[in-house]
Amino acid sequence: MRARRIQNTLKNEKGQSLVEFALVVPLLLLLVIGIAEFGRAWMTKNILTGAAREAVRMAAVPPPTGMDNVTWNAAISARADNILKSAGITIPAGNIQVVANVGTFEAVTVTVTYDFPVVIAGFIPGLDNATFPLSSRTTMRREY
């Protein structure tokens, strides 16, 4: 009698695990994809920081003899842009800013900004081409 009652209970709960799985999978996928997107954003932020650090280091040392400030600032921006391009990041012109205070041992600041594209946004209706801004600023003193 007891075995029959267990069989009837199992028959009534046959699709329960499928329904639970269907309810949990979207949340699990959202969590996993969110972790991956956060990792991509963190990596991109680190690349921006590295590019800003390399550019400000270049700005902190004396320019080559005979080079004017405009050409030197363009070379500094090109250095950061080359680092970003080597990582597959293309930014519009003007997103690398070099601010150098006039004077010996004054601070030089390089700011790199980038609109990070969210890949998962393409799968969510209404969020096409969603981006959020990432920025990195590095400051060093001039050595001359």
Mind listing the pLDDT tens digit for each residue in 9-44? 656 667 888 899 999 999 999 899 889 999 999 999
C-alpha dist (Å) from residue 144 to 71, 105, 141: 18, 6, 9
Q: Quote the pLDDT of residue 3.
A: 66
Amino acid present at 122:
G
**Given a cut of 70, is residue 118 above it in pLDDT?**
yes
Which residue would you say has higher pLDDT here, 4 or 79? Answer: 79
The pLDDT tens digits for 52-94 are 999 999 999 988 888 888 898 899 999 999 999 999 999 998 9
Q: Quote the pLDDT of residue 48.
A: 97
Which residue would you say has higher pLDDT here, 126 or 132? Answer: 132
Q: Please, what is the angle between helix 69-86 and helix 16-60, to 10°?
A: 150
Which residue would you say has higher pLDDT here, 43 or 4? Answer: 43
pTM: 0.81
Strands 107-117 and 96-100: antiparallel
Residue closest to 45 by CA, chosen among 104, 123, 133? 133
Q: Quote the pLDDT of residue 70.
A: 85
pLDDT band at 104; cut points 50, 70, 90: confident
Q: Quote the pLDDT of residue 128.
A: 74
- For residues 81 and 93, the answer to whether their CB atoms sit within 8 Å is no
- For residues 98 and 77, the answer to whether their CB atoms sit within 8 Å is yes
- For residues 139 and 108, the answer to whether their CB atoms sit within 8 Å is yes
Residue 10 to residue 5: CA distance in whole angstroms: 9
**Given a cut of 80, is residue 130 above it in pLDDT?**
yes
Q: What angle do CA 137, 90, 76 make, to 5 degrees?
A: 50
